[in-house]
Amino acid sequence: MRFRDSVVWVTGASSGIGEHLARLFHAEGAHVVLSARREDALSRVAEACDGPGDTMILPLDVTDETAIGTAAGQVSARFGRVDILVNNAGLTQRGRIAETSLDVYRRIMDVNFFGPLMLTKAVLPSMTERGSGRIVCVTSVAGKYGSPMRSGYNAAKHAAHGFFDSLREEVARHGIDVTLIVPGTVRTDVSLNALRGDGSLYGRMDPFLASGMDPADCAGRILDAVHARKREVLIASGVARRNVWLKRLSPALLSWVTRRRKS
């Protein structure tokens, strides 16, 4: 019960990593606020939560600034605070730069960068006033190196790394911790919901994701990182982990390898 009576707000909680995060936090005694756009899916996750804390179903589009302000007020009215904010909602892309519309880029940036930014700013004043809190952002190895067909996603995740690294330095004196989670390939539906260059759904399960890490295992490692107040944790193996290190040690070699990928 490492998180007993903590109020934990998880976005993207309707499936994948977010669903398992919500269930594990709840099992460890937390009061969990579940947010995503699909209320029916959130209800299913809430029913699966099996712990002593409360659950709050709070449908939310993280790109809607007005809705974020309203949601933050609802959480405050229900629980009085947010101890841990987990920015997990995400949207990826499958399309070449020349074929991708600006609207698609804006949508991807809104979900992956401006959404976490706005939600963090909504809860930050109360955390600062209390002198405690933890802010978590689930990014991706896409925030560490670039790859074809995912330029908008790469850009958004790089931006998120820059923002939350900066935030950490600003809020440390207020007793607030910031943790960046960097997953590699995790077995979720993220590619099914990816946007093509024209904004249509990609609608396919990428083979490398289908054989990826179990999202429950990933979520468990995230809880360990949050409890340990880690600054940044890479949760990846195989090609994804290799690429992170190649980017640091030999960018030219990484470029050579990337250009020979088929997808």
Domain boundaries, the chain: 7-238
Q: 7-238 has which CATH code?
A: 3.40.50.720
Residue 182: phi, psi to the nearest 5? -120, 85
The answer to whether the beta carbons of residues 143 and 93 sit under 8 Å apart is: no
Dihedral sign of CA atoms 21, 162, 262, 199 in order: positive
Per-residue pLDDT tens over the stretch 158-170: 999 999 999 999 9
Mean pLDDT of 215-225: 98
The answer to whether the beta carbons of residues 134 and 226 sit under 8 Å apart is: yes
175 has a pLDDT exceeding 80: yes
Please provide the average confidence, as pLDDT, over all residues in the chain: 96
Q: Which residues contact 11 (CB under 8 A, 6 or more apart)?
A: 18, 35, 36, 60, 62, 86, 87, 88, 89, 115, 116, 119
Residue 203 Ramachandran class (φ > 0 left, ψ -120 to 50 alpha, else beta): left
Dihedral sign of CA atoms 107, 108, 113, 117 in order: positive
Give 211 or 112, the one with higher predicted confidence: 112
Q: Residue 261: which pLDDT band, with cuts at 50, 70 and 90?
A: confident
262 has a pLDDT exceeding 70: no
145 is catalytic: no
Give residue 58's pLDDT.
98
